[in-house]
Amino acid sequence: MTVKLEDIIAQVEGQSHPPVDRWNPDFCGDIDMRIDRNGRWYYMGTPIGRERLVRLFSTILRRDMDGKYYLVTPVEKVGIQVEDVPFMAVRVDRIGTGAQSALHFATNVGDEILADADHPVRVAEDPVTGEPRPYILVRGRLEARIARPPFYELVEMAEERLIDGKPSLAVYSREQWFALGAALTDAAADIPV
Protein backbone atom coordinates (compact mmCIF):
# COMPACT_ATOMS: atom_id res chain seq x y z
CA MET A 1 0.00 0.00 0.00
CA THR A 2 1.42 3.38 -1.04
CA VAL A 3 1.03 6.23 1.41
CA LYS A 4 -0.01 9.48 -0.26
CA LEU A 5 1.18 12.88 0.86
CA GLU A 6 -2.38 14.22 0.78
CA ASP A 7 -3.51 11.53 3.24
CA ILE A 8 -0.66 12.35 5.64
CA ILE A 9 -1.39 16.10 5.41
CA ALA A 10 -5.06 15.47 6.24
CA GLN A 11 -4.06 13.24 9.17
CA VAL A 12 -1.54 15.74 10.58
CA GLU A 13 -3.85 18.72 10.13
CA GLY A 14 -6.67 16.70 11.73
CA GLN A 15 -4.78 16.40 15.05
CA SER A 16 -6.35 18.52 17.71
CA HIS A 17 -4.96 19.81 20.96
CA PRO A 18 -6.59 21.99 23.60
CA PRO A 19 -6.16 25.73 22.88
CA VAL A 20 -3.58 26.22 25.65
CA ASP A 21 -2.13 29.30 23.93
CA ARG A 22 -5.46 31.09 24.41
CA TRP A 23 -5.86 30.18 28.08
CA ASN A 24 -4.54 32.68 30.64
CA PRO A 25 -5.21 31.27 34.11
CA ASP A 26 -3.37 32.41 37.23
CA PHE A 27 0.01 30.81 37.93
CA CYS A 28 -0.41 28.31 40.78
CA GLY A 29 3.27 27.53 41.39
CA ASP A 30 5.64 24.78 40.34
CA ILE A 31 4.98 21.07 40.74
CA ASP A 32 7.55 18.29 41.04
CA MET A 33 7.23 17.13 37.44
CA ARG A 34 10.18 16.80 35.09
CA ILE A 35 10.82 15.74 31.50
CA ASP A 36 14.33 14.39 31.03
CA ARG A 37 16.48 14.95 27.95
CA ASN A 38 15.17 11.69 26.42
CA GLY A 39 11.52 12.75 26.67
CA ARG A 40 10.69 10.62 29.75
CA TRP A 41 8.23 12.17 32.17
CA TYR A 42 8.65 11.97 35.98
CA TYR A 43 6.42 12.95 38.87
CA MET A 44 8.06 13.34 42.29
CA GLY A 45 11.14 11.54 40.95
CA THR A 46 9.19 8.50 39.71
CA PRO A 47 8.79 7.77 35.99
CA ILE A 48 5.22 8.10 34.75
CA GLY A 49 4.63 4.66 33.26
CA ARG A 50 1.15 5.19 31.85
CA GLU A 51 1.62 6.23 28.23
CA ARG A 52 -1.93 7.62 27.99
CA LEU A 53 -1.33 9.88 30.99
CA VAL A 54 1.90 11.21 29.46
CA ARG A 55 0.07 11.86 26.18
CA LEU A 56 -2.67 13.70 28.07
CA PHE A 57 -0.15 15.89 29.90
CA SER A 58 1.67 16.57 26.62
CA THR A 59 -1.50 18.08 25.12
CA ILE A 60 -1.72 20.74 27.83
CA LEU A 61 1.98 21.60 27.82
CA ARG A 62 3.00 25.11 26.84
CA ARG A 63 6.27 27.02 26.67
CA ASP A 64 5.83 30.71 27.35
CA MET A 65 7.91 33.66 26.17
CA ASP A 66 9.91 33.44 29.40
CA GLY A 67 11.29 30.09 28.16
CA LYS A 68 9.64 28.15 30.98
CA TYR A 69 7.30 25.18 30.56
CA TYR A 70 3.83 24.97 32.05
CA LEU A 71 0.91 22.58 32.20
CA VAL A 72 -2.10 24.78 31.45
CA THR A 73 -5.83 24.28 31.90
CA PRO A 74 -8.55 26.93 31.70
CA VAL A 75 -8.31 27.42 35.49
CA GLU A 76 -4.67 26.82 36.47
CA LYS A 77 -1.10 27.02 35.25
CA VAL A 78 1.71 25.06 36.94
CA GLY A 79 5.39 25.09 36.14
CA ILE A 80 7.37 21.95 35.34
CA GLN A 81 11.05 21.29 34.58
CA VAL A 82 12.27 20.26 31.13
CA GLU A 83 15.92 19.26 30.77
CA ASP A 84 16.19 19.95 27.04
CA VAL A 85 12.94 19.86 25.06
CA PRO A 86 9.77 17.98 25.99
CA PHE A 87 9.47 15.55 23.08
CA MET A 88 11.54 13.12 21.04
CA ALA A 89 11.03 12.63 17.31
CA VAL A 90 11.38 8.85 17.12
CA ARG A 91 10.52 8.25 13.46
CA VAL A 92 10.88 9.99 10.11
CA ASP A 93 9.52 8.95 6.73
CA ARG A 94 9.86 10.57 3.34
CA ILE A 95 6.42 10.85 1.76
CA GLY A 96 6.04 11.67 -1.94
CA THR A 97 8.78 12.45 -4.45
CA GLY A 98 10.58 15.43 -5.86
CA ALA A 99 9.10 18.87 -5.28
CA GLN A 100 5.98 17.28 -3.75
CA SER A 101 7.86 15.38 -1.04
CA ALA A 102 7.67 15.88 2.71
CA LEU A 103 9.40 14.62 5.82
CA HIS A 104 6.85 13.10 8.19
CA PHE A 105 7.95 12.86 11.84
CA ALA A 106 6.32 11.04 14.77
CA THR A 107 7.07 11.83 18.41
CA ASN A 108 7.21 9.71 21.53
CA VAL A 109 3.85 11.20 22.63
CA GLY A 110 1.97 10.55 19.41
CA ASP A 111 2.28 13.90 17.66
CA GLU A 112 2.84 13.81 13.92
CA ILE A 113 4.55 16.67 12.13
CA LEU A 114 5.40 17.52 8.54
CA ALA A 115 8.61 19.54 8.29
CA ASP A 116 7.85 22.85 6.58
CA ALA A 117 8.22 26.60 7.06
CA ASP A 118 5.99 26.46 10.18
CA HIS A 119 7.69 23.32 11.53
CA PRO A 120 11.37 23.77 10.72
CA VAL A 121 14.17 21.34 11.35
CA ARG A 122 17.21 22.91 13.01
CA VAL A 123 20.52 21.53 14.21
CA ALA A 124 22.30 22.99 17.21
CA GLU A 125 25.65 21.94 18.62
CA ASP A 126 25.94 20.26 22.00
CA PRO A 127 27.98 22.75 24.07
CA VAL A 128 29.87 19.98 25.86
CA THR A 129 30.52 17.35 23.17
CA GLY A 130 30.24 19.44 20.00
CA GLU A 131 27.91 16.80 18.53
CA PRO A 132 24.91 17.85 16.45
CA ARG A 133 21.59 18.16 18.30
CA PRO A 134 18.75 18.14 15.78
CA TYR A 135 15.25 19.44 16.56
CA ILE A 136 11.90 19.99 14.87
CA LEU A 137 9.27 22.47 15.96
CA VAL A 138 6.13 20.54 16.94
CA ARG A 139 3.66 23.30 17.88
CA GLY A 140 3.73 26.66 19.58
CA ARG A 141 7.23 26.94 21.07
CA LEU A 142 7.46 23.19 21.74
CA GLU A 143 10.20 21.24 20.01
CA ALA A 144 11.15 17.60 19.70
CA ARG A 145 14.75 16.49 19.64
CA ILE A 146 15.26 14.17 16.71
CA ALA A 147 16.52 10.82 18.04
CA ARG A 148 19.71 9.38 16.63
CA PRO A 149 18.19 6.73 14.28
CA PRO A 150 15.87 9.20 12.47
CA PHE A 151 18.70 11.74 12.33
CA TYR A 152 20.91 9.16 10.62
CA GLU A 153 18.06 8.59 8.16
CA LEU A 154 17.95 12.34 7.47
CA VAL A 155 21.70 12.37 6.85
CA GLU A 156 21.25 9.49 4.37
CA MET A 157 18.58 11.56 2.55
CA ALA A 158 20.65 14.75 2.58
CA GLU A 159 22.06 16.52 -0.42
CA GLU A 160 24.81 19.10 -0.65
CA ARG A 161 23.26 22.58 -1.00
CA LEU A 162 24.30 26.15 -0.45
CA ILE A 163 22.41 27.33 2.64
CA ASP A 164 23.04 30.94 3.64
CA GLY A 165 26.03 30.91 1.28
CA LYS A 166 27.70 27.92 2.96
CA PRO A 167 28.01 24.38 1.60
CA SER A 168 25.70 22.29 3.77
CA LEU A 169 24.11 18.89 3.94
CA ALA A 170 20.40 19.62 3.71
CA VAL A 171 17.06 17.85 3.46
CA TYR A 172 14.00 18.99 1.54
CA SER A 173 10.40 19.00 2.77
CA ARG A 174 7.33 20.92 1.60
CA GLU A 175 9.20 23.51 -0.45
CA GLN A 176 11.86 24.13 2.22
CA TRP A 177 15.50 23.12 2.59
CA PHE A 178 16.80 22.46 6.12
CA ALA A 179 20.54 22.43 6.86
CA LEU A 180 21.80 19.47 8.87
CA GLY A 181 25.43 20.56 9.02
CA ALA A 182 28.39 21.68 7.01
CA ALA A 183 29.15 19.69 3.90
CA LEU A 184 32.66 18.39 3.44
CA THR A 185 34.10 20.22 0.50
CA ASP A 186 36.91 18.64 -1.51
CA ALA A 187 39.42 20.92 0.24
CA ALA A 188 38.10 20.02 3.70
CA ALA A 189 38.16 16.33 2.84
CA ASP A 190 41.91 16.54 2.15
CA ILE A 191 42.71 17.93 5.60
CA PRO A 192 44.27 15.21 7.79
CA VAL A 193 42.58 14.52 11.12
If pLDDT is split at 50, 70 and 90, which confidence band does 60 have? very high
Q: Which domain, by its residues, includes 126?
A: 87-186
Mean pLDDT of 27-38: 95
Same domain, 141 and 64: no
**Digit-coded pLDDT (tens) for 90-101:** 999 999 888 889
Question: For residue 156, what pLDDT is reported?
Answer: 94
Report the CATH number at residue 46: 3.10.540.10
By percentage, how much of the chain surpasses pLDDT 70? 87
Question: For residue 169, what pLDDT is reported?
Answer: 93
Q: Where are the alpha helices (DSSP H) in the chain?
A: 5-13, 51-59, 148-157, 186-189
Residue that finishes a domain, picked among 34, 49, 82 = 82
**Burial profile 13-24: b = 16 or more Cβ within 10 angstroms, e = fewer:** eeeeeeebeeee
Residue 42 has pLDDT above 90, yes or no: yes
Spatial CB neighbours of 144, under 8 Å, sequence gap ≥ 6: 39, 85, 86, 87, 88, 89, 105, 107, 108, 111, 113, 135, 136, 138
End-to-end alpha-carbon separation of the chain, Å? 46
**Digit-coded pLDDT (tens) for 117-139:** 999 999 998 888 888 999 999 99
* DSSP string for 96-109: S-GGG-EEEEEETT
If pLDDT is split at 50, 70 and 90, which confidence band does 188 have? very low
Report the CATH number at residue 109: 2.30.270.10
In a domain, 193, yes or no: no
